[in-house]
Every structure is written in C-alpha cells, then in structure tokens.
Amino acid sequence: MISIGNIYKVSDVLRAVAEKKGPDASYDLYWEDQDREATLDDVFLVAEKVQVTDDCEEIYPKSATDRGFWIYCSDELIQDVVGLAVSQKPTASLSDLLRCLEHYIRRDCFLDLGNDHTVSGPPAKALPSTAPEQSWQTLAIIPEKKREAYMAYAKMNHCNLLAAKSAVDKFLAERANV
C-alpha cells in the first residue's frame, strides 16, 4: 500500500495502483526529472494535489518543493491508464504499465495493449510543439485543437498541462460569456 507523503519506486507505485492499494485521499505523483521518461527504478513522491489559483499559479505541496520535485501526474490519470492497461491485458508487466503511462503523459492518449507492435515498439516520444504562427487562443476555439492549445499555453507560460488546461478553459468560459 502506498500513502501520501512518502517516496516510492515507480515499480511499487504501479503495482499498488494495479492492485488498487493506493491512498483513499486524492493525490498527485511528483518526480524530479521531467526531461526524460521515467524508469521502474526511479522514485515518485506521493503527495497532496497541486493547487491552481485563478491566475494559473501552481502551488505545490511543501514536501515536493523541498525536494525539487515537479508534478508527474494525478491519481485519476494513473488509475485510468493502469486500469485500462490491466483490463486490456490482465498479465501486463510493470514495464507495460509504465510504457502505457509514459505514452499517455507524452501523447495525451491511451496505448492499446492489444496492439502488440505498439507495445513492443520504441518508447513514446514527446508531442511535437505547436506551430509558432498558431496562438493558443486560436487553437482553443477549435474543439478538436484544444489539446494543442493546452500544450502551446503550457510551453509559452512554462507551466504544466494541468495549469494550462485550467487557464485555457477559463479563457474559453470568459469568451463564451462575452
């Protein structure tokens, strides 16, 4: 079982989530290195959720900032990704689960474990950046381009996708009220 406020190997977190032995409270996973893909031997901090202010400012829990960790994903995301992976392939290895999680983190879509060539293929690459001539505001008003708007906003404002989604959605809500 994993609990809030502790550090665990990635493999232990994935195993606990697959076995539904996670904390009862909401949590986020934090990691020290966002410039590469996680490995099973890396460590995650399980801590309170990031708070996002109305001004898109992220307030990290002290346990994460003291260690220099950044948000990796939410409890909802890891539960969804691991749950789907296990339902597709009940014998999924921890490596399979991590590959599915990294695929979702990098591509914002689920990996189909029923598609053997995808799972055994090379690791997922980061999403390409948005074309510079397309502002996040332009992308946001096109429903099928919202994900690209989140990414463009995050890149431009140096924030994570959670904060970017909040800011872009707020922009769209305000635009709808005009």
Closest CA to 50 of 67, 72, 66: 72
Residue 124: the pLDDT is 35
Helix (H) or strand (E) holding 73: strand 70-74
Mean pLDDT of the region 10-26: 91
* Residue boundaries of the structural domains of the chain: 6-119, 136-176
Q: Where are the alpha helices (DSSP H) in 3-93?
A: 10-18, 62-65, 75-88
Can you read off the two tokens belonging to residue 61? 């829990």
The pTM (predicted TM-score) of the whole model is: 0.64
Each residue's pLDDT tens digit, 54-75: 888 889 999 999 999 988 999 9
Each residue's pLDDT tens digit, 102-126: 988 888 788 888 754 443 333 333 3
Question: Given pLDDT bands bounded at 50, 70 and 90, which one contains residue 139?
Answer: low
How far apart are the C-alpha atoms of 154 and 158, rounded to whole Å?
Answer: 5
How far apart are the C-alpha atoms of 19 and 26, rounded to whole Å?
Answer: 17
